[in-house]
Amino acid sequence: MDSETLLRRDFRRILLIKLSALGDVIHTIPVLNQLRRRYPDAEIHWLTKPAMAELIGHHPALDRVILFHDEEWRRPWRTGAKALRTLWTLVRALRGGRYDLVIDLHGQIRSAACTLLTGAPVRIGFDRPREEVRKASARKLPANAYRHAWAGAREGSWLAYTHPIRLATLDTHAVDRYLRVGLLLGFEPAPADFSFPIPEAAERRAGALLAEHGIGAAPESRFVLLAPGSAWETKRWTAEGFAAVARHVLDRGLPVVLIGSGKDRLACRAVAERAPGVADLCGRTALTELAAIVRRAAVVVTNDSGPMHLAAALGRPTVSMFGPTDPLWIGPYGQPDAVISAELSCAPCYLRQLRRCPHGHACMYGLAPEEVIARIERALAPAEARPAARRIASAGE
């Protein structure tokens, strides 16, 4: 199918693939909202992991969420027949979907396999990594950034696509990169729309959790939210740094709330032990409840993590510490002034384990609490006293 025909085609059954993680799923929501506007009568499904389904499953633009249970397939010798049953259920759902369009924004071999299983005649995904795309940028990053960061569809997944999404430069935020699918499908030009519903039950649960610590629902009941965890150990700022911020905010008379997944409990506990009086809700919220709490926060302070992207999507003022990752590619969307970085020559490196860093993790350990506190104070200031926000621009613009 040529490009002109693709632009005019009225697709009726569409599958969107983004399996994880939280930040990546949030970055995909603008694509979902555009798909619904472009194809108002289509049936739209989303293939994702169960944890992510809890966040997007209520979205009015979606007709169905298909679950990807890879946790059972990783150890089939333990899960046995259950793994085979869930795999067969997935195959039946993909084959039975009768999709005429599949958009794979995950770009790995497992998502590409799912794309091919659908048998859809039109399969869109990112192009393979190309040297000329990397060299198109005027920025010169460390070699590790190009070696380990995203540079295109991975693991040969591009072979599954009939229509690749081509990039002129890597220096584009992930949200804008995902929205380039609209060049193939004819999306109307519009700002990224992150709107998604938060169920009333999640709002009530969030209110109850905050009320346990004396934090009310009234607009004047402001609090600062800290998210000290991250999936990569190299992305984490120090517990003492977060604690120093927490102590300052508490001394200022505002409550401090810690949030994160169950995997972040140790990181949150380390901050709570150093800053008595914080409300530690780590591991106690589903994703919709987390969203409800984030939406109520006056300021959200994070590493490069899912809660950071959630805060940006919900329009909350954010202060984010960056070290091994690139804020142009993956920073809090629309909030370039939210990023605090040591700007060292070795960063971004995109290394995930501390043991692989030869520089003592200076990019994160060297960030001073005083700078973070100053950014928080600026975000807490009345709107008329704050500098105007600027949109994140791609280097190629």
Q: Which amino acid is at 67?
A: L
Tokens of 42: 């289509």
279-280, strands of its sheet edge to edge: 279-280, 256-258, 224-227, 299-303, 318-322, 339-341
Cβ atoms 250, 275 nearer than 8 A: yes
Do 21 and 72 fall within a single domain? yes
Do 119 and 213 fall within a single domain? no
Do 210 and 180 fall within a single domain? no
Res 393: pLDDT? 33
Distance CA 182, CA 291 (A): 27
Q: Does residue 20 form part of some domain?
A: yes
Q: Does residue 394 form part of some domain?
A: no
Res 388: pLDDT? 41
Of 127, 159, 185, the position where a domain reaches its end is: 185
Res 81: pLDDT? 76
Q: Which amino acid is at 83?
A: A
Do 114 and 171 fall within a single domain? yes
Distance CA 377, CA 371 (A): 10
CA-derived radius of gyration, the chain: 21
Which CATH number does the domain housing residue 46 bear? 3.40.50.2000
Do 101 and 206 fall within a single domain? no
Strand boundaries in the chain, DSSP class E: 13-17, 43-48, 64-67, 101-104, 122-126, 163-165, 224-227, 256-258, 279-280, 299-303, 318-322, 339-341
Residue-by-residue pLDDT tens, the chain, 397 positions: 888 999 999 999 999 999 999 999 999 999 999 999 999 999 999 999 999 999 999 999 999 999 998 776 666 656 667 778 888 999 999 999 999 999 999 999 999 999 999 999 999 999 999 999 999 999 999 999 999 999 999 999 999 999 999 999 999 999 999 999 999 999 999 999 999 999 999 999 999 999 999 998 776 679 999 999 999 999 999 999 999 999 999 999 999 999 999 999 999 999 999 999 999 999 999 999 999 999 999 999 999 999 999 999 999 999 999 999 999 999 999 999 999 999 999 999 999 999 999 999 999 999 999 999 999 999 999 743 444 433 333 333 3
pLDDT in tens, 269-322: 999 999 999 999 999 999 999 999 999 999 999 999 999 999 999 999 999 999
HSE-CB for 393 with a 13 A CA cutoff? 5
Res 221: pLDDT? 76
Do 231 and 162 fall within a single domain? no
Q: Give the domain extent around 259.
A: 200-385
Q: Which of 270, 359, 355, 294 is nearest to 323 (CA)?
A: 359
Q: What is the 3-state secondary structure (H, E, C) of 34-78?
A: HHHHHCCCCEEEEEECHHHHHHHCCCCCCCEEEECCHHHHCCHHH
Q: Which amino acid is at 232?
A: W
**DSSP secondary structure, 170-227, as one string:** S-S-HHHHHHTHHHHHTPPP----------HHHHHHHHHHHHTTT--SSTT---EEEE
Res 79: pLDDT? 63
Do 138 and 227 fall within a single domain? no
Do 44 and 169 fall within a single domain? yes
Do 156 and 223 fall within a single domain? no
Q: Does residue 395 form part of some domain?
A: no
Q: Does residue 190 form part of some domain?
A: no
Sign of the CA dihedral running 128, 347, 397, 25: positive
Question: How many structural domains comprise the chain?
Answer: 2
Res 77: pLDDT? 58
Do 152 and 228 fall within a single domain? no
